[in-house]
């Protein structure tokens, strides 16, 4: 088999066989196939798409590129959640400790996370802004942490899904991220290899997501639910709004600080609500609690501080310095900051959320090439959201970076998307639909709308 022929066949729109897909994936992981040939194949897949059979073959080839974790020895259900990626999307960091506090040894939250990709942030980068936090646990450490504390968050380092680690980094810098087969196989190979039996997928849709329309997001959700179900897992997907960042913080240490607020029963309503919703669905999917009971329980662990305590436990178990959680001013802090002010009275207009992710990235919070270092302190606090009334001179956003040049680059990106309008933009739902093995359940009434005039639920 020759890599050249495989690229050519995909370029010309043919269906690749399982053997061809496995050859490309295993050859790349072994170092026999160079970056440029896999990049060409990724671009051909991006342009031509893949059949369901090809996507499943790609998922299995990636999953089998390394070890597959067997969680069946744990005395309880194993839970996992994954987001397709968004801006300011820090829900994993909130829900892992929430679920640890809710399940108390009845289940295990075995979370395998990723790094920032394109304009989106990554849970691992956020966690690494906590001094000492180790995302690269060995298999034994992972299992021990799960048994002892009920939860762990790790990267797909070393032997777990090495193919995704390599391909993910390549996609990030070759404009091949937002492709349904590539996203579905990337996510599901990790979910299947990480071993959890119940998996909730948060499929983001909107200007800050890889999927820009609800039908596309539903298509991605269906693909992933089908792959997971075929592999014997319980899988459900939520289609959630990414037409604006989730919460106010965008950037690694800033997002950790916001998660700490939510875990103290405070923080932005949208983030709190989405975290509660994801816990509810995961608990119900694993049949640990019914949905109503789980929703109340999720609120309770935020409001009584037990989710925060679980986050400190998780952080300490993975080598992190918990003093930064007790005092978030100790997290990395930027040396330069600037504000973006409203130039006139009106309402904040709709946003190109991807642009906001890029603004944060160019200030240092993300990577432009796969070897770039992250500036953990860099990022944005978006104090106003679409539909908020603003008066001339109000602060719309705070920007954080390590130099004036980086701040200016971020300001220039933000200026391309922040607008003040006369007519208040219509509120949008937080949840559009849920997808499970029974099909698509649209949410006509939608969960509480993202209108800031709606009173807080806590």
Nearer to ligand URA, 235 or 407 (CB): 235
Scanning 13-21, 98-106, 178-186, 279-287 for contacts with ligand URA by CB under 6 A, the matching segment is 178-186
Measured between alpha carbons, how far is 162 from 64 in angstroms, rounded to an integer? 9
Of 25 and 183, nearer to ligand URA (C-beta) is: 183
Catalytic residue among 179, 185, 186, 207: 186
42: nearest Cα among 164, 224, 170, 166: 170
**Burial class of residue 54 in the structure, from the number of CB atoms within 10 Å of its CB (0-12 exposed, 13-18 middle, 19+ buried):** buried
| Part in contact with ligand URA (CB under 6 A); list of ranges 179-187, 329-337, 430-438, 450-458 | 179-187
User: Is residue 35 annotated as a catalytic residue, yes or no?
Assistant: no
User: Considering the rule CB under 6 A, would residue 60 count as an interface residue with ligand URA?
Assistant: no
- Yes or no: say if 115 and 125 are a contact pair by the CB < 8 Å rule: yes
Smallest distance from the beta carbon of 184 to ligand URA, in angstroms? Answer: 8
Q: Is residue 207 part of the contact set for ligand URA (CB under 6 A)? A: no
Q: Which of 82, 126, 149, 233 is catalytic?
A: 82
- Which CB, 39 or 186, lies closer to ligand URA? 186
Integer CA distances (angstroms), 148 to 109, 142, 152, 381, in order:
12, 10, 10, 36
Are the CB atoms for 229 and 437 separated by under 8 Å? Answer: yes
In the complex, the smallest distance separating the C-beta of residue 188 from ligand URA, rounded to whole angstroms, is 9
Contact between residue 221 and residue 201 where contact means Cβ atoms under 8 Å apart:
yes
Is the CB of residue 231 less than 8 Å from the CB of residue 189? no
| Distance, CA of 137 to CA of 66 (rounded, Å) | 15
Work out whether 163 is an interface residue with ligand URA (CB under 6 A).
Answer: no
Q: Which residue is nearest to ligand URA (CB)?
A: 186
Phi and psi at 371, nearest 5°, equal -100, 0
**8 Å CB contact between 122 and 249:** no
CB of 195 to ligand URA, least distance (A): 16
160 binds ligand URA (CB under 6 A): no
Interface size with ligand URA, residues (CB under 6 A): 8
Least distance from ligand URA to the Cβ atom of residue 63, Å: 13
| Degrees to nearest 5, angle at CA 357 with 356 and 361 | 115
* Binding of residue 186 to ligand URA (CB under 6 A): yes
Q: Which of residues 114 and 366 has its CB atom nearest to ligand URA in the complex?
A: 114
**Catalytic one of 111, 171, 273, 355:** 171
Residue 21 or 187 having the CB closest to ligand URA? 187
- 52 catalytic? Reply is no
Letters for 110-149 (x = contact with ligand URA by CB under 6 A, - = none) are: ----x--x--------------------------------
Nearer to ligand URA, 56 or 84 (CB): 84
The answer to whether 183 contacts ligand URA (rule: CB under 6 A) is yes
Q: Are strands 77-83 and 439-442 parallel, antiparallel or unpaired?
A: unpaired
297 is a catalytic site residue: no
Catalytic residue among 164, 202, 269, 375: 164
Question: Which string of DSSP letters, residue by residue, matches 342-381?
Answer: -SSSEEE----HHHHHHHHIIIIIS-SSTTPPP-TT-EEE
* 129 is a catalytic site residue: no
Identify the active-site residue in 115, 126, 149, 190.
Answer: 190
**Is 388 designated active site?**
no
- Span of 145-153, 181-189, 297-305, 384-392 interacting with ligand URA by CB under 6 A: 181-189
Q: Is residue 64 classed exposed, middle or buried when 0-12, 13-18 and 19+ CB atoms within 10 A define those classes?
A: middle
For 181-244, the DSSP string reads HHHHHHHHHHHHHHT-SEEEEEEEESTTSSB-SHHHHHHHHHHHHHHHHHTT-EEEEEEEE-SS
Q: Does 84 bind ligand URA (CB under 6 A)?
A: yes
Return the number of the residue (48 or 306) whose C-beta is nearest ligand URA: 48
Contact criterion met (CB below 8 Å) for 259 and 123:
no
Between helix 52-63 and helix 180-194 the angle, nearest 10°, is 40
Looking at beta carbons only, is 84 or 103 nearer to ligand URA?
A: 84
Angle, in degrees to the nearest 10, between helices 162-172 and 52-63:
120
Q: Which of 42, 69, 85, 354 binds ligand URA (CB under 6 A)?
A: 85
State the pairing for strand pair 107-113/151-155: parallel
**Residues 199-221 as b or e (16 or more Cβ within 10 Å = b):** bbbbbbbbbbbbbeebebbbbbb
| Residue 187 within binding range of ligand URA, rule CB under 6 A | yes
Q: Which stretch binds ligand URA (CB under 6 A): 24-32, 182-190, 217-225, 334-342?
A: 182-190
**Footprint of ligand URA (CB under 6 A):** 84-85, 114, 117, 182-183, 186-187
**Active-site residues: which are they?**
82, 164, 171, 186, 190
């Amino acid at each position: 088999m020759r890599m050249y022929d495989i690229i050519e066949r995909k370029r010309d729109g043919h269906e690749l066989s399982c053997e061809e897909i496995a050859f490309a994936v295993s050859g790349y992981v072994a170092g026999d196939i160079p970056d440029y040939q896999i990049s060409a194949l990724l671009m051909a897949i991006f342009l031509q798409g893949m059949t369901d059979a090809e996507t499943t073959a790609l998922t299995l080839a990636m999953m089998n590129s390394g070890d597959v974790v067997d969680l069946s020895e744990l005395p309880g259900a194993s839970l996992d959640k994954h987001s397709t990626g968004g801006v300011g999307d820090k829900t994993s960091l909130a829900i892992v400790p929430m679920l640890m506090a809710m399940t108390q040894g009845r289940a295990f939250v075995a979370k395998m996370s990723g790094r920032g990709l394109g304009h989106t942030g990554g849970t691992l980068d956020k966690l690494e802004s906590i001094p000492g936090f180790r995302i690269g646990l060995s298999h034994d450490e992972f299992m021990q942490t799960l048994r002892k504390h009920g939860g762990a968050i790790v990267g797909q380092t070393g032997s777990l899904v090495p193919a995704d680690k390599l391909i993910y980094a390549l996609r990030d810098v070759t404009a091949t991220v937002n492709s349904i087969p590539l996203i579905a196989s990337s996510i599901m190979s990790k979910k299947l290899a990480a071993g959890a039996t119940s998996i909730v997928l948060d499929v983001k849709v909107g200007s800050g997501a890889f999927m820009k329309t609800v039908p596309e997001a539903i298509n991605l959700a269906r693909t992933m639910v089908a792959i997971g179900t075929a592999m014997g897992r319980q899988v459900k997907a939520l289609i959630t709004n990414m037409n604006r960042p989730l919460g106010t913080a965008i950037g690694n240490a800033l997002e950790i600080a916001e998660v700490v607020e939510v875990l103290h029963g405070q923080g932005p309503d949208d983030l709190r609500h989405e975290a509660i919703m994801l816990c509810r669905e995961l608990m119900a999917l694993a049949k640990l609690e019914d949905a109503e009971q789980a929703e109340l329980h999720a609120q309770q662990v935020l409001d009584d501080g037990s989710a925060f305590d679980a986050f400190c436990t998780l952080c300490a178990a993975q080598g992190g310095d918990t003093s930064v959680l007790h005092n978030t001013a100790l997290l990395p802090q930027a040396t330069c900051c600037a504000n973006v002010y409203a130039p006139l009275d009106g309402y904040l207009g709709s946003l190109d959320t991807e642009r906001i992710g890029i603004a944060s990235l160019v200030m240092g919070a993300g990577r432009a090439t796969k070897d770039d270092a992250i500036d953990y302190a860099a990022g944005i606090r978006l104090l106003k959201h679409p539909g908020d009334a603003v008066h001339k001179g109000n602060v719309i956003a705070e920007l954080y970076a390590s130099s004036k040049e980086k701040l200016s680059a971020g300001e220039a990106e933000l200026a391309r998307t922040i607008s003040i309008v006369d007519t208040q933009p219509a509120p949008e739902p937080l949840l559009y639909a849920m997808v499970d093995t029974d099909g698509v359940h649209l949410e006509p009434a939608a969960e509480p709308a993202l209108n800031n005039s709606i009173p807080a639920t806590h």
